A = this chain, B = another copy of it.
Amino acid sequence: MPHTLAGGNLTFNPLYKEVKIRITRRLIAGEWKPGTAIPSESRLAEQFNVSVGTIRKAVDELVAEKILVRQQGRGTFVATHTEDRQLYYFFHIVGKDGSKEPPAHELLSFQKGKADSAAEMRLNVSRGERVFRIHNLLKLAGKPVVLDEIMIPAARFPDLTEAIFSARAGTIYGLYQARYGINVVRISERLSAARPGAQTAGVLGIRVSTPVLVIKRVAYTYHDAPVELRTSWVNTERHEYLSDLWKNERR
């Protein structure tokens, strides 16, 4: 049967793409919470009036994007921002000896202020909108290695306070997800080398003459909507940024 569903088929996507969009819509709506199982493939097939194979192909893509996670015999789950996921997909700093460890966090400052021009450009905020500006120090093996400056629009994090931020149970993106329903699904990073400012050098425990790696990250949720702007200054004397476009992805 050719795919002659009534109703808005204006863009004329293949059926499995439409199904994928409808599943994503229900994810955005928060119908299925992170960590919980979505309906079984056969049940979804009934609900959407398509074959199981079509559901499978739609879910395949969402799994490839790490938005859903399949487990044979158990079900298909909405991905959560656990420490593991953080370490594997969003944190790229490794020891020069190849070691990989979850960083310890130390909150340096938490302020509410106005968006600067970079935030206006990269985030989708208007001129002078309120943003949270958070400084966070990451330590590896007990020593400071990364200084993070996080910028998020205050409008999307209504009641956020320093206490809530530092009392979070898991990762930062886990907090976004659990408390504000904002699910970071993709990041884009731009790297350059620079001399650190006096303050930055101070907290990293290096001299101002020591070059640092500067990472400018934009974090996106569904539909490529930017939700966070983050600048990191990295001391690369003992650590490196690992960009392995395949190995990590494939288990």
Contacts and interface: CB of A to CB of B under 8 A. Distances in A.
Interface stretch (A10-18, A162-170, A241-249): A241-249
A209 B210 CA distance: 10
A200 interface: no
Chain A binding surface SS class: strand
Interface in A207-221: 209, 211-214, 216
Interface stretch (A153-161, A171-179, A185-193): A185-193
Given A65-B246, A89-B245, A213 B191 contact: yes
A146 B186 CA distance: 28
Given A192-B240, A194-B193, A236-B192, A245 B187 contact: yes
B236 A188 contact: no
Q: How many copies of the shown chain assemble into the complex?
A: 2
B241 A190 contact: yes
Nearest to A249: B245
Nearest to A247: B188
Contacts of A241: 190-192, 243
B243 A188 contact: yes
A230 interface: no
A195 interface: yes
With most chain B CB atoms within 10 A of its CB, the pick from A192, A211, A216, A246 is A192
Contacts of A192: 213, 236, 239-241
Pick the 10 closest A-B CB pairs, nearest first: A211-B211, A192-B236, A193-B193, A193-B211, A191-B241, A190-B240, A193-B213, A189-B243, A188-B244, A186-B246
20 contacts: A188-B242, A188-B244, A190-B240, A190-B242, A191-B191, A191-B213, A191-B236, A191-B240, A191-B241, A192-B213, A192-B236, A193-B212, A193-B213, A193-B234, A193-B236, A194-B236, A209-B209, A211-B211, A243-B243, A245-B245
Interface of A: 64-65, 89, 92, 94, 186-195, 209, 211-214, 216, 234, 236, 239-247, 249
